[in-house]
Amino acid sequence: MKSTIKRAAWLVWVFLMLSGASTWAAESSEKVISMIEQLPDWTNFNYTNKDALKEATKAFSALPDSVKNKVPANLREKLNNLNDNVAKATIPNLEKSLKVKHSYSFAYSSSDGHFTKEQTDYMRFVADCLKMNPKAKVSVIGYTCNIGSENQNEVFGYDRAIHVHNYLIRYGAFEDQIVMDTKTFHNPIAPNDCEKNRAKNRRTEIKLIKK
């Protein structure tokens, strides 16, 4: 009789433990799901969200593997993508890319403000680095060829700087992180002796001026 009672008590204890574990798993996964859902997507993400991302990542990592699977795949992917993007959007990576690309020139005609996919992807990367590092600043300098007067080329050069500025702001950089200027046809990167070379001089350059 006593053994029967002990066995029944043990089964009750096991049931309560399993029920408690199940409840904990459900509550823990729901908490993590809520934390990830509250994180903005990368388009709207900036340095102010970094602490919340760290907390969500820490909470997710603490879950047992069996419980991690209760977090929807799209949210797990969101968490991974945010962490990957934050890891890439650093000032050392920006400095390295600018050094390789020699301040990155955007060449286009006087009347054409359209950029290639490579150029827009790069501006998005620059904006990512800026929005995650609010103390950083870049200069955006517009250049021209030697056709026209100094005054005309000041308009063209500044207009090119504005085009790049607007893209950086659209992708998340802050207004006070961008200094615009124009050097018109001064400091050419090619002789202004043919249309091909003049096209190279019609450009905009991005330079890091403050880390």
Q: Report the CATH number at residue 194.
A: 3.30.1330.60
How much is the pLDDT for 167?
Answer: 93
23-37 pLDDT tens trace = 545 677 899 999 999
pLDDT band of residue 102 (cuts 50, 70, 90) is low
Residues 136 and 205 in one domain: yes
Domain range for residue 27?
A: 2-88
Report how many domains make up the chain. Answer: 2
Asked whether the predicted pLDDT for residue 53 surpasses 80, the reply is: yes
How much is the pLDDT for 164?
Answer: 92
How much is the pLDDT for 23?
Answer: 54
Residues 102 and 124 in one domain: yes
Residues 56 and 136 in one domain: no
Residues 101 and 76 in one domain: no
Average pLDDT score over the chain? 85
120-137 pLDDT tens trace = 899 999 999 999 999 999
- End position of a domain, from candidates 88, 113, 140: 88
Residues 34 and 106 in one domain: no
How much is the pLDDT for 107?
Answer: 61
Return the exposure string of 17-48: e unless at least 16 CB atoms fall within 10 Å of the residue's CB, then b: eeeeeeeeeeebbeebbebbeebeebeebbee
Residues 79 and 101 in one domain: no
Nearest to 164 by CA among 190, 187, 184, 182: 182
Who contacts 2 (Cβ-Cβ below 8 Å, separation ≥6)?
Answer: none
Percent of the chain with pLDDT over 90: 62
Residues 203 and 102 in one domain: yes
- End position of a domain, from candidates 53, 88, 123: 88
How much is the pLDDT for 47?
Answer: 96
